[in-house]
Amino acid sequence: MPIFSWSARGDVPPVGDPAFDGLLAGNLLPEDTAGGLRPVAEVIAALNAPPVTSELAAEASALRAFRAAGRSGEPARSRPRRHPLLTSLLSAKLAAAAAAAAAVGLGGAAAAAYVGALPAPAQKVAHDILGAPSAHPTPSATPVGPDATGPAAFGLCTAFAHLKAHGSAAEQAVAFRNLATAAGGAAEVTAFCAKVAHPGTTPSAEPTTHPTGKPSTLPSQVPTGRPSGKPTTHPTGRPSTLPSQVPTGRPSGKPTATR
Partner 1 sequence: MGSDLPAKGSALARGAVDAVVLLPLSGGRRIGCGRPDLAPILACVIGEEFGPVLAAAQDGSEAAFAVLWRDVNPVLLRYLRVTAPGAAEDIAAETWVQVVRGLPGFRGDERAWRAWLFTAARRRAADEGRRHSRHPVASLAEVPGALEPRTEDAAGLAMENLATAAAIAAVSELPPLQAEVILLRVLAGLDTEAVARIVGRSQGAVRVAAHRGLRRLGQTLTRTGVTL
Of 89 and 191, nearer to partner 1 (C-beta) is 89
Shortest approach of partner 1 to residue 234 CB, angstroms? 23
Say which amino acid occupies 179.
Answer: L
Q: How far is the CB of 70 from partner 1 (least distance, A)?
A: 9
CB of 233 to partner 1, least distance (A): 20
> Of 224 and 244, which has the nearer Cβ to partner 1?
224
For the CB of residue 213, give the shortest distance to partner 1 in the complex, in Å. 26
Nearer to partner 1, 18 or 255 (CB): 18
DSSP result, the chain? --SS-TT---PPPPTT-HHHHHHHTT---GGG--TTHHHHHHHHHHHTPPP-HHHHTTHHHHHHHHHHTT-SSS--TTS-SHHHHHHHHHHHHHHHHHHHHHHHHT--GGGGGGTT-S-HHHHHHHHHHHHSTT--SS---------TTTTTHHHHHHHHHHHHTT-SGGGGSHHHHHHHHHHTSGGGHHHHHHHPPPGGG--SS--SS---S--SS--S----SPPSS--S----S--SS--S----S--SS--S---
Name the minimum Å distance from CB 171 to partner 1.
9
Nearer to partner 1, 119 or 249 (CB): 119
In the complex with partner 1, which residue's Cβ is closer, 223 or 253?
A: 223
What is the rounded distance in angstroms from the CA atom of residue 175 to the CA atom of residue 59? 12
Nearest approach, Cβ of 37 to partner 1 (angstroms)?
6
List of residues 6+ apart from 67 with CB closer than 8 A: 74, 76, 84
Which of 17/188 has CB closer to partner 1?
A: 17
Nearer to partner 1, 169 or 194 (CB): 169
Q: Closest approach of Cβ 33 to partner 1, in Å?
A: 10
